[in-house]
Amino acid sequence: MQSPHPNARACWVVGPSRAEIRPEPLAPLREGEVRVRSLHSGISRGTETLVFRGEVPPSETERMRAPFQGGEFPAPVKYGYVNVGVIEAGPPGLIGRTVFCLHPHQTVYQVPAAAVTPLPDGLPPARAVLAAYLETAINAMWDAPPRVGDRVSVVGAGPLGLLVAWLAARVPGCRVQVVDTQAARADIAQALGASFALPAQASEGADLVVHASGQSAGLATALRLAGFEATVLELSWYGTRRVEVPLGEGFHAQRLTLRSSQVGQVAAAQRARWSHGQRLALALSLLTDPALDRLITHHAPFEDLPQVLQRLAAGDTETLCQRIDYTT
């Protein structure tokens, strides 16, 4: 017999740049479901701040839906997809397991058992909030894989860009340079196996350039750094913002390829053999490196989440990965 179901609380975006914590009553637990009590959640900086500001394009409202989203864009909407928690009710073999789930920010929630992925042994729950970023980085590396000995430039030293650099630096012979306007990111880039440069000092002639800054100027830098017939892989998501792309200058003479990558679909090169679940399990298995803790620069209690979203959406430049902690 299942234990009594508690009331939960969830964070809802209620208007442009406004969020609030609301009660979230739970139905009785059904057969095949698990009840999860949250330990931590993470904010996907680019996507969630666009949702918070109400900048989801009308054409993308269906593709942008999170797996357990509540409400509709632009608001009110319960959004998010980075949650780590402990199963407190459900099939006996799962009770007490620490799991990752693509669920919005909520204290307690119920989902089908197939929607949760147990954390591998040795992975601290607080670090597992990086899983969604790392899954995106893995998909990017599948979309435009660096080859042995490649010169790789990563423009944008946010969590996604730094994880891409971390993966690429593990390819034998790859020389990876992270490019960002904030010199303070140099130490983290170097700890993850890459060199660092400000845009004006960055090395040109790269075999592969990955852009993850979310800014038009960063994309212009990425195109400038690409070598002859190189690929520029675009990971930034701009929402309703217009982006200026300098496709004059050397773009045609250099015969560059500008390619998009997005985590919603498994990269074409792997799609016949890899599921979303397998890709997520791979990301979790790779997070056992303690060096990645440096990417989680800020944490705050769940009750402060509306204010945290306001800070991030207003242009905060100090935060890499923002973790939200729940009272257990």
Q: What is the mean pLDDT of residues 35-39?
A: 98
Q: What is the mean pLDDT of residues 84-105?
A: 97
Query: What is the set of domains in the chain, with CATH numbers?
Result: 8-129+286-325 (3.90.180.10), 145-260 (3.40.50.720)
Mention every residue, 6+ apart, whose C-beta is less than 8 A from residue 176: 152, 153, 154, 165, 168, 169, 193, 194, 195
Q: From 220, 228, 282, 218, select the one nearest 247 (Cα to Cα).
A: 220
Q: What is the mean pLDDT of residues 145-167?
A: 97
Q: Is-cis flag, bond preceding 74, omega within 30?
A: yes
Residues 95, 87 contacting (CB under 8 angstroms): yes
pLDDT digits (tens, 9 = 90+) for 259-289: 999 898 999 999 999 999 999 999 999 999 9
User: Does the pLDDT at position 1 exceed 80?
Assistant: no
- pLDDT attached to residue 291: 94
Residues 8, 25 contacting (CB under 8 angstroms): yes
Q: What is the mean pLDDT of residues 145-157?
A: 97
Q: What is the mean pLDDT of residues 209-225?
A: 96
- pLDDT attached to residue 244: 86
Q: What is the mean pLDDT of residues 231-251?
A: 89
Confidence of residue 85 (pLDDT cuts 50, 70, 90): very high
CA torsion, ordered 164, 167, 173, 175, to nearest 10 deg? 30
Q: What is the mean pLDDT of residues 212-233?
A: 96
User: Does the pLDDT at position 66 exceed 50?
Assistant: yes
Quick one: how far is CA 132 from the chain centroid?
Answer: 4
User: Does the pLDDT at position 2 exceed 50?
Assistant: no
Residue 82 phi, psi (nearest 5): -135, 95
Q: What is the pTM of this model?
A: 0.93
Mean pLDDT of the chain: 95
User: Does the pLDDT at position 328 exceed 70?
Assistant: no
pLDDT digits (tens, 9 = 90+) for 160-170: 999 999 999 99
Buried b or exposed e, range 272-308, using 16+ CB within 10 angstroms: eebeeeebbbebbebbeeeebeebbebbeebeebbeb
How far apart CA 114 and CA 31 sit, in angstroms, is: 12
More reliable by pLDDT, 6 or 136: 136
User: Does the pLDDT at position 116 exceed 90?
Assistant: yes
Residues 285, 122 contacting (CB under 8 angstroms): no
pLDDT digits (tens, 9 = 90+) for 160-208: 999 999 999 999 999 999 999 999 999 999 999 999 999 999 999 999 9
Residues 83, 41 contacting (CB under 8 angstroms): yes
The number of C-alpha atoms within 13 Å of 182 and in the hemisphere containing its C-beta is: 14
User: Does the pLDDT at position 144 exceed 70?
Assistant: yes
Record the tokens describing residue 68, joined without a space: 């357990």
- pLDDT attached to residue 242: 86
Mention every residue, 6+ apart, whose C-beta is less than 8 A from residue 278: none
Q: Give the H/E segment covering residue 40.
A: strand 33-43
